[in-house]
Amino acid sequence: MGSYLTAFLVGGFICAVAQLLFDLTPLTPAHVLTLFVIIGGILSGLGLYEPLVKFAGAGATVPITSFGHQLVQGALREMETHGLIGVLAGIFDLSSAGITAAIIFGFFASLIFNPKG
Amino acid sequence: MTRGKSRAMQANKPAKLQQKEYQAIAQRKKMKPPVLRNVVVAWVVGGLICVLGQAINQFFISRGFSSEDAGSPTVAVLILISSILTGLGVYDVLGQFAGAGSAVPVTGFANSVVSAALEFKREGLVLGVGAKMFSLAGPVIVYGTITAFIVGVIRALLR
């Protein structure tokens, strides 16, 4: 599941590509991040993202492209057992921890802290 | 009268020129961000956040999680760290320095959720924090879900 070196190289590379799009295209960061999730999902659907996870470990699972991968894999796994309805039921299966953690920690952080500036 | 007018026009001309020159310079400055510096910093910071993720992942594997099951607690810990750093105002400083290096990792996703929740806190817990929490992270979830749905349907039909 990847080494520290491959995590650094692949994870850094994905961020560097995003930075190029920030700097050299009129796309806003929100557009680029949305695009990356879609690309991650498409690569996952083509069976190309899982090998990247095997090679780069956290270098592939930490960038936002991994969110698209999790959504697609969640949908596909449920689809295997329950067919078309499984797509609806399974989409958030694997990404649940990320979304839930963001809501819970985000909520409590907003209670504890005050906006800066 | 005519002389006065022409003098005013002459005085006006250089001012307009200056304005044009200024706009041209401003445009040039805006069009040329320090791309190489930005890309290197994004690579290094983004790469290091992934290395941190790899270390947390290894920790959970050493605690008996399978390599697949370790993914969820790893993401949760990264989001916790990012939420605290965002609350302290540290992550936004990192963001200004690192650009995509801090925006692309899942910590950037958490940062966008927490900073939106904090920013709209004064509008109340329901209409501020509750309603606006995903104002920045929302597109990622919406289009990720749409992508997964389309990919899922295509694969279901091809089965």
pTM above threshold 0.80: yes
User: What is the rounded CA–CA span in Å between residue B115 and residue B97?
Assistant: 17
pLDDT digits (tens, 9 = 90+) for B116-142: 999 999 999 999 999 999 999 999 999
Q: What is the mean pLDDT of chain A?
A: 95
The confidence score (pLDDT) of residue B1 equals 44
DSSP per residue over B58-127, as a string?
HHHHHTT--TTTTHHHHHHHHHHHHHHHHHTTHHHHHHHHHTHHHHSBHHHHHHHHHHHHHHTGGG-III
ipTM: 0.95
Residues from chain B that touch A8, judged by Cβ atoms under 8 A, are: 47-48, 50-51
- In chain A, residues with a C-beta closer than 8 Å to the C-beta of B110 are 101-102, 105-106
Of residues B5 and B89, more confidently modeled: B89
- Top residue of B49, B54, B91 to mutate, by most chain A CBs within 10 Å, is B54
Which distant-in-sequence residues (6+ apart) come within 8 Å of A89 by Cβ? A78, A82
Chain B, residues 2-31, CB within 8 A of chain A, namely: none
Both tokens of B93, joined, read 């400083």
What pLDDT shows up at residue A117?
A: 59
Sites in chain A below the pLDDT cut of 70: 117
**A45–B155 CB contact, under 8 Å:** yes
* CB within 8 Å: B35 and A107: no
Q: Which of A2, A20, A94 sits opposite B54 (nearest CB)?
A: A2
Nearest-CA neighbor of A11 among B159, B119, B114, B101? B101
Q: Where are the alpha helices (DSSP H) in chain A?
A: 4-24, 29-45, 49-56, 58-61, 65-82, 84-90, 96-112
| CB contact B50 to A (< 8 Å) | yes
